[in-house]
Amino acid sequence: MPRVAIIGLGLIGGSIGLALKRAKLADLEIVGHDAEYGVNRDARKRGAIDKEARHPAEAAEGAALIVIATPILQVKSAFEAIAPALAGGAVVTDTASTKRDVMSWAADCLPEDVSFIGGHPIAGKETSGINAAEASLFDGHPWAMIPALDATESAIRAAENFITAIGAVPTLIDAEEHDSYLAAVSHLPLVLSTALFSLASRSQAWPELAPFAGPGFRDTTRLASSNPSMSHDISLTNRENLLHWLDRYVEELASLRKMIESSDTQEELIERFASAQAARDAFMQAPPPKPGPERPSDPMSAGERMMSFMVGEYVVRRTKEVQATLEKRASGELDDRGKR
């Protein structure tokens, strides 16, 4: 039976499992593992996985596609854990929010006959855990794809089909570009949200301030409710890019502060507000088109193409196993019952 393994069954890993189930791919087995007690059971009860695995290697054994959906700083240990169990031709991908370190870890830890496709779904919410997972989490959202230099063409296609099958839009990008871009539009907002809420909530006047914290404050600080471990890992693995954008933001704040302070710059101040309003309104009304791979039309669905790849890999592996057994029997190393 074609198998997908999901290592890490929180919001992202659980949602991947639910989205694969929604795709109704015949004969697909989803095996999952999470290190946190009780999560495997909860994921199976929610229908995100078919089978629980006690160890990452147990989940990865025999899988054609392995998805690492752990926190970023646990990705390397996950690679090390599954490496001995990976079959030749398997495809490994991940969901980490930063990519440079992950690509390096994959090159160091994974076997040469396995293809790694770095991944990052540009989707999520501030709540975390398997109980927050939902099948529609990725629908219509870009999913960054960063193939390793030695990834095969068929592996890249398999990753594209997997991403499409769960509702996302596969988007090829370089690891350095990914980390730089996401620092500006994802990681910086996370830090700013945390800073604003910390500033207000640590004030001695917070008990008096809190009742007046309306939708604007709640919207602006929504990301402060994100998983602290994720925020920590992002900050460490994308430090240089994040510091660059933090410095630019501090400069922008300093510029606005001078305008607000001076009575001679009021016209400039309203122009700054008006310019930002116009630019954001235009962005919201007509967002830029989401990038994606250009592929000729194919009568098969993405899910069918993914299953075709997985079945093909399974047949190849089984054929090699049978041939090896026959050769050992011919040489006398095994008897007719497969015993030495």
pLDDT of residue 314: 55
CATH superfamily of 3-173+296-326: NAD(P)-binding Rossmann-like Domain (3.40.50.720)
Instruction: List, in sequence order, the alpha helices (H) in 90-182.
Output: 100-109, 153-165, 175-182
Maximum Cα–Cα distance across the chain: 95
Does pTM surpass 0.85? no
- Asked if 102 contacts 87 with a C-beta cutoff of 8 angstroms, the reply is no
- Asked if 70 contacts 8 with a C-beta cutoff of 8 angstroms, the reply is yes
Find the Cα–Cα–Cα–Cα dihedral 83, 55, 104, 89, rounded to 10°.
40
Pairing of strands 142-147, 115-121: antiparallel
pLDDT of residue 297: 42
pLDDT of residue 310: 67
**Does this chain's domain 3-173+296-326 share its CATH topology with 178-285?**
no
Residue-wise pLDDT for 215-240, tens only, equals 999 999 999 999 899 999 999 999 99
pLDDT tens for the chain, 340 residues: list them.
689 999 999 999 999 999 999 999 888 999 999 999 999 999 999 999 999 999 999 999 999 999 999 999 999 999 999 999 999 999 999 999 999 999 999 999 999 999 999 999 999 888 889 999 999 999 999 999 999 999 999 999 999 999 999 999 999 999 999 999 999 999 999 999 999 999 999 999 999 999 999 999 999 999 999 989 999 999 999 999 999 999 999 999 999 999 999 988 889 999 999 999 999 999 899 877 665 554 444 445 777 777 777 666 555 555 565 566 667 667 767 555 555 6
Determine phi and psi for 285, rounding to 5 degrees: -80, -35
- Asked if 249 contacts 192 with a C-beta cutoff of 8 angstroms, the reply is yes
DSSP string, 304-332: HHHHHHHHHHHHHHHHHHHHHHHHHHHTT
Instruction: Pick 178-285's CATH classification: 1.10.3660.10, 3.50.20.10, 1.10.3720.10, 3.90.1150.10.
Output: 1.10.3660.10
What are the boundaries of each domain within the chain? Answer: 3-173+296-326, 178-285
pLDDT of residue 296: 42
